[in-house]
Amino acid sequence: MPPARPTPPQPDGGPAGPQGAAGPQGSTPAPDGPHVCVVELNRHAPRPFVFTEIALSLRDMLRAAGHHAEHLVNEIDPDAINILFVPTDGWEQALARLDPARTVLFNMEQLGSDSPWARAGYIGMLARWTVADYSSANVAFLRTANGPAQRVHEIPVVPGGSVGFAGEAGITPCVDVLFYGTTNARRERVFKALRAAGLTLEVVSGAYGSELTPALQRARLVLHVHYYDTRLFPVARMLQPLASAVPIVCETSVCPALSDWGRSGIVFADYERLADACASLLHDPARQLEGVRRSLVHLRRVDTASPLNVLLANFAQAGGTGAATR
């Protein structure tokens, strides 16, 4: 069997541990500036949901940048700047209670894909709002679709310390490959190739946050296979394995400009080579360790504070009008 997952050092040579993956800003300064609420619409609360990890990471990033920020679930603070993750169930109704002058919609959809969320007028609805997005490809798509009046900002996302969820102590990885997400024929073909190569595979659907942690503890590596042809790098589903120092194999992706994960230790491979890439990495513990180390170094180099400060400063400069520059 392939060796157990190695425990990585910190990039500076200090002690290991997922809490080190809190972002590139270092120690958290005293809160200053506007009160910001990161809003997660979660019909399954208090269970974690699809946006839980990215909401926690964004809150951590805002705090590290010196802002007073909190994570709200299924509620809005009318006196704060609210950053709402969309689209998800109930998001249209939530907009009726939000002021565009004090609201940022954080788009998590792959625009230009055949996702049902990306159709039926969704892109047009974003035109009157200030939008944040994890992907420069989405930013370009919105500016083309909605014109120069679209207020849109690329916001790079890295895992905050809050997504290093505590798991059971002393767990030795026993599953070669973990995949989590919705299955389809394209993904099933890769699963078949993994099993044909003699690798053990666990497929998990509908688990997020702390509920995903046990599966990550069992896994020697995490695999991502794209669902859509747009092939955008799926940062939201990478946050917990990055914070937990789990090696990652990902299908070749369109990476965002401000956080080019092609420079990290994630192993990218074309679709036809994914099973081979997993097998190769599993049999090379030194490469696993180096990949995890490089990813930790990379996420600390990503400047998340500057784009966030520009986004929030634009609200203040506009006097609460929401007429942010792009």
Backbone angles phi, psi at 5, to 5 degrees: -65, 130
The region of weakest confidence among 48-57, 91-100, 143-152 is: 91-100
Q: Are 261 and 224 in contact (CB under 8 A)?
A: no
pLDDT for res 4: 52
Mean pLDDT, rounded, for 318-324: 44
What are the Cα distances from residue 68, in Å, to 29, 53, 64, 162, 168? 10, 19, 9, 16, 32
What does the pLDDT look like over 157-212, one tens digit per residue?
999 999 989 888 888 999 999 999 999 999 999 999 999 999 999 999 999 999 99
Q: What percent of the chain has pLDDT over 70?
A: 86
Please give the residue that has the higher pLDDT: either 26 or 64. Answer: 64
Q: What percent of the chain has pLDDT over 90?
A: 77
Per DSSP, helices labelled H in the chain are 52-64, 91-95, 122-125, 136-146, 185-196, 213-218, 235-243, 274-282, 285-301, 305-317
* pLDDT tops 60 at residue 317: no
Please give the residue that has the higher pLDDT: either 156 or 28. Answer: 156
Domains of the chain (ranges; CATH) run: 25-156+303-317 (3.40.50), 162-301 (3.40.50.2000)
Say whether 45 sits in a helix, a strand or coil: coil
pLDDT for res 5: 55
Task: For 130-195, give the secondary structure using H, E and C.
Answer: EEEECCHHHHHHHHHHHCCCCEEEECCCCCCHHHCCCCCCCCCCCEEEEEECCCCHHHHHHHHHHH
The model's pTM: 0.89
**Distance between alpha carbon 40 and the CA centroid of its chain, in Å?**
14
What does the pLDDT look like over 105-128, one tens digit per residue?
999 999 999 888 777 689 999 999
**Which residue type occupies 13?**
G
The region of weakest confidence among 15-19, 34-38, 238-242 is: 15-19
Phi-psi region of 219 (alpha: psi -120 to 50; beta: other; left: phi over 0): beta
